[in-house]
Structure 1
Amino acid sequence: MYIAVLQVFNLNIGVMAQQTGIIPLVGTLNGINFYYLNGKPIARKAGGGFTRKRIKTKASMERVRENASEFGHCSAVNKAFRSALNPFYKGYTFTHFHSRLMGLFTRIKALDTTHKRGERLVANGIGQAHGLQLLEQFSYTPACDVRQVLPFEFRVSDPDLALSIADFDIAQVGFADGATHMALTYGVLDFDFNHLNYALHLAPPLVLDRSYAGATLTLEPATLPSGLGTALYVLGVRFYQEVDGALYVLNAKGSVGIAVLKCL
């Protein structure tokens, strides 16, 4: 049976080739690996690929080892950072949030000029002025851009770190489809990028409906950071729908947003 099947393939294999034939194979046969790559049947000679031993010992794999080490470090930072931000989006799943943050921390890590490749750290990149800019300018939730949803000026006062929004006009707020209410959550995230410890100092959430008539908003954290690490002023927005007097959180695309307003 295998002979009959192989006869319908045109295997011109140097390193790798796409299978052509009636019945794509999966597995290893006569020194050839058959598998799927991105939905396409592929055939290649068995052996010669990456193995754990080769990656650990071969000089030619040094760059692979360096990349793997830094990737693992950025992944750990990513996990801790997402956990710290969780109160702003609890119960909601962002598409590609993990991978997009990996891109952010990889860029910040690359700013570390004090360590050699393979040992560069996000914390050292954060220590650079451009590192803080990357944290502030990154679009954490593109489907719900907080600065577009709330097109107002944000101010943080000293020493209470209260966030104020002057000239507020509910008519200018970009409400999500179907939303009747908006909740604003503000907090100061004290994040230690060296040891991945953090503390989040939150203000009481502020819930507004579409008929809100106030012109000034103020959100003040109940506690203040103690200097654990980098201070990030974070504003979150979440939309709700009122049904029979009860508020239900919306989980549709564009209904949850997060922004880092400033870093110190």
Structure 2
Amino acid sequence: MAKLKSLLKIEGTLDGMTFYKKADGQYYVRTKGGVKKERILNDPSFARTRENNSEFAEVAKSGKQFRRALVGALTNVKDRTKTTRLSSNLFKVKNYDTTSGRGERKVSIGIQEAEAKVQLVGFDFNKNAPLDTVLLQNYVINTTSKEISLGDFIPNIMLANPKGATHVKMSAYHANYDFTSFESELVASNVETLAIDSTSSNITFSFTTPASGTGVELFLLKIEFLQELNGDLYQLNNGTFNALKLVSMV
């Protein structure tokens, strides 16, 4: 890669050379290169590359389908990095597939191992608002009764409230997700909307009809911050401070 020192400030491609401007304000130029696609697909020396590409595609597909299954929970949770972060964790899950050959390892097989589930449990869908830094209180998950509970919850003590927040909206989700067929069901719990004050409450999130299906069973906990204006509640800063965490997988 070369640095352009002339007075010409060109951006784009010209005669096989690409001119572009970096964040430092300087202009750079590089020539077109790389290995041809046909060689990567057929040359024996690129066998490992093909294997890696196949597994990357497997992880990307699994991540896309997993996010789609949880789209109802992801509403108002803003983080542009969640896709790449989730893919990184799913890549680790794929590595627990010890029965398939190179290039054929699958997330759906790896997730069957308890150690693989650990790679996803605790995943925060908003890295800017990890649940454990927002909710300053322990919660209890009962996977038998399908409930998540918080005792003696006092909003202005047990929450790290962002500036401007007047209320908190709390909910949970129960899901069944099959990493093989991508079939899923997502069910929302009761929603608790509380003023951020010193009032103490015992909160239990439950599901009128829990999710059904095959695959893994998921529990998620969500916290959204709201601001009251003229009697109406609005999302604070478009969900920047909202937390959503995968708290259990069985």
Q: With structure 2 as the length reference, what TM-score do the two structures score?
A: 0.87
Alignment partner, residue 187 of structure 1? 173
Alignment partner, residue 28 of structure 2? 41
Where relative contact order (Cα < 8 A, 6+ residues apart) is larger, the structure is 2
Q: For residues 206 and 174 of structure 1, do their structure 2 counterparts lie closer, same or farther at Cα, with a shift above 3 Å needed? A: same
Aligned-partner Cα distance in 1 for 2:19–2:44: 30
Alignment partner, residue 53 of structure 1? 38
Alignment of 1:118-197 (within 5 A): 118-157=103-142, 159-170=144-155, 171-197=157-183
Coordinate RMSD, CA, aligned: 2.3
Shift of 1:217: 0.7
- Letter of the structure 1 residue corresponding to residue 2 of structure 2: Q
Deviates more, 1:35-44 or 1:182-191: 35-44
Q: For residues 180 and 58 of structure 1, do their structure 2 counterparts lie closer, same or farther at Cα, with a shift above 3 Å needed? A: same
Shift of 1:172: 2.0
Aligned-partner Cα distance in 1 for 2:221–2:87: 21
Is 1:225 aligned to residue 211 of structure 2?
yes
**1:133-183: per-residue Cα shift (whole Å, max 9, x none)?**
111133332211112211222222354311111232222211222111111
Alignment of 1:176-255 (within 5 A): 176-211=162-197, 213-252=199-238, 254-255=240-241
Aligned-partner Cα distance in 1 for 2:235–2:82: 20
**1:22-56: per-residue Cα shift (whole Å, max 9, x none)?**
14775464xxx311478352344x66x22221121
Identity of aligned residues (%): 25
- Letter of the structure 2 residue corresponding to residue 223 of structure 1: T
Structure ID, larger Rg: 1
- Letter of the structure 1 residue corresponding to residue 73 of structure 2: F
SS at match of 1:140: coil
Q: For residues 218 and 52 of structure 1, do their structure 2 counterparts lie closer, same or farther at Cα, with a shift above 3 Å needed? A: same
Aligned-partner Cα distance in 1 for 2:68–2:9: 43
Aligned-partner Cα distance in 2 for 1:20–1:63: 36
Is 1:76 aligned to residue 53 of structure 2?
no
Alignment partner, residue 11 of structure 1? none
Is 1:86 aligned to residue 71 of structure 2?
yes
Alignment partner, residue 2 of structure 2? 18
- Letter of the structure 2 residue corresponding to residue 94 of structure 1: D
**Count of residue pairs brought into register by the alignment:** 243
Q: For residues 81 and 55 of structure 1, do their structure 2 counterparts lie closer, same or farther at Cα, with a shift above 3 Å needed? A: same
Instruction: Answer yes or no: is the 8 Å Cα contact 1:152–1:167 preserved in 2.
Output: no
Instruction: Answer yes or no: is the 8 Å Cα contact 2:226–2:234 preserved in 1.
Output: yes
- Letter of the structure 2 residue corresponding to residue 208 of structure 1: L
Alignment partner, residue 9 of structure 1? none
Q: With structure 1 as the length reference, what TM-score do the two structures score?
A: 0.83
Aligned-partner Cα distance in 1 for 2:43–2:28: 30
Shift of 1:121: 0.8
